[in-house]
């Protein structure tokens, strides 16, 4: 049981650090890359990354239970809780990995992302969400258009101010008339999504491996605890009853009556001894 406790303690440290890194990176990436929900057709694949965030949050109670289980009085119930949490977290991360595989397949087909961005560009003038998303993407990635800045001329006469790194201030005549971003947004967007996919897959796969080790160690701890408690209960024998012989009170009678021998009384417990005439 000592060796399994050391394994659980090591897994707890890895889960704490890995869960913090995974949760922070997923939350930051989803906030920073929120424009991909509107400018591409990858909204479902990107929104399923919330599974990674849920699995990362479950790493915190899992880490705490891993350090408490080997030394707590109620170790069996806590071990069962730990195994349930680890199983749920592994399911969450596995579902996230399956969804992120769909995103990786989409990355191998740039034409689909190209067409979805062109469709979003065509409604840029009518949808404020798409307009702000395109502006955020062009400022963040320092790009303009999809393949190049000339894509905008198919839908408008002037370039948006985001192609020059400026935010649209609501004025009608606000256009791009400064230094222009010459590259299109398709290539940097694919690079950003590819980095997000590969890093998230590698980190979550490592956490799944650590959780599997934690699950096996917790199961071993539970079995060992049950066996040890069974051996202790079988080897325990109640102590034999204690028998103490003592003299009883002499019978109260006339002073001239002869006193006979005092009878012996057998007691099975010191608590049954008379307290008014102790030996």
Average pLDDT of span 15-31: 88
What's the pLDDT tens digit per position in 31-46? 888 777 777 877 777 8
What's the chain's Rg over C-alpha atoms? 38
Q: Where are the domains of the chain?
A: 1-239
User: What pLDDT, on a 0 to 100 scale, did the predictor assign at position 240?
Assistant: 59
Q: What mean pLDDT, rounded, does the chain reach?
A: 77
Which residues lie across from 246 on neighbouring strands? 265
Measuring CA to CA, which residue among 61, 16, 70, 7 is closest to residue 216?
A: 7
Q: Would you state the pLDDT for residue 251?
A: 54
pLDDT attached to residue 241? 56
Q: How far apart are CA 127 and CA 93, in angstroms?
A: 35
Q: How confident is the model over 104-152, as pLDDT tens digits?
A: 777 888 888 888 888 888 888 888 888 888 888 888 888 888 998 888 8
Of the pLDDT bands very low, low, confident and very high (cuts 50, 70, 90), residue 90 is very high
pLDDT at residue number 79? 83
What value does the mean pLDDT take over residues 237-254? 55
The answer on pLDDT for 207 being more than 90 is: yes
| pLDDT for residue 260 is more than 80 | no
CA distance 31 to 42: 15
| Residue 254 predicted with pLDDT over 60 | no
Distance of CA 229 to the CA centre of its chain: 32
Contacts of 249 (CB under 8 A, 6+ apart): 262, 274, 277
CA atoms within 13 A on the CB side of 85: 21
Mean pLDDT of 51-69: 87
Q: pLDDT over 90 for what percent of the chain?
A: 8
Instruction: Answer whether residue 74 shows pLDDT above 80.
Output: no
Check residue 181 and give its pLDDT: 84
Instruction: Decide if 186 contacts 146 (C-beta within 8 A).
Output: yes
pLDDT at res. 135:
86
Give which of 33, 75, 117 is closest to 218, Cα–Cα: 75
Q: How confident is the model over 230-242, as pLDDT tens digits?
A: 444 454 455 555 5
């Amino acid at each position: 049981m000592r060796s399994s406790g050391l394994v659980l303690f090591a897994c707890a440290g890895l889960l704490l650090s890995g869960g913090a890194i995974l949760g922070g990176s997923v939350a930051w990436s989803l906030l920073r890359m929120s424009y991909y929900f509107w400018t591409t057709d990858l909204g479902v694949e990107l929104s399923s990354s919330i599974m990674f965030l849920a699995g990362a949050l479950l790493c915190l109670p899992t880490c705490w239970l891993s350090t408490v289980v080997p030394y707590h009085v109620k170790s069996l119930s806590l071990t069962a809780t730990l195994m349930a949490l680890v199983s749920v977290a592994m399911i969450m991360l596995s579902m996230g990995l399956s969804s992120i595989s769909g995103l990786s397949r989409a990355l191998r087909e740039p034409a689909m992302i190209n067409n979805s961005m062109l469709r979003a560009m065509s409604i840029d003038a009518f949808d404020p969400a798409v307009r702000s998303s395109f502006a955020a993407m062009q400022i963040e990635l320092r790009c303009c258009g999809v393949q190049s800045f000339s894509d905008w001329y198919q839908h408008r006469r002037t370039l948006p101010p985001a192609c020059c790194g400026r935010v649209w201030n609501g004025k009608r005549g606000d256009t791009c008339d400064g230094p222009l971003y010459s590259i299109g947004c398709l290539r940097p967007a694919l690079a950003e999504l590819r980095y997000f996919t590969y890093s998230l897959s590698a980190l979550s796969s490592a956490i799944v491996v650590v959780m599997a080790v934690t699950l096996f160690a917790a199961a071993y701890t539970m079995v060992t605890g049950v066996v040890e408690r069974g051996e202790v209960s079988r080897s325990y024998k109640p102590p034999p009853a204690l028998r103490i012989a003592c003299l009883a009170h002499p019978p109260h009678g006339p002073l001239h009556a002869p006193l006979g021998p005092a009878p012996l009384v057998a007691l099975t417990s010191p608590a049954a001894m008379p307290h008014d005439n102790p030996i």
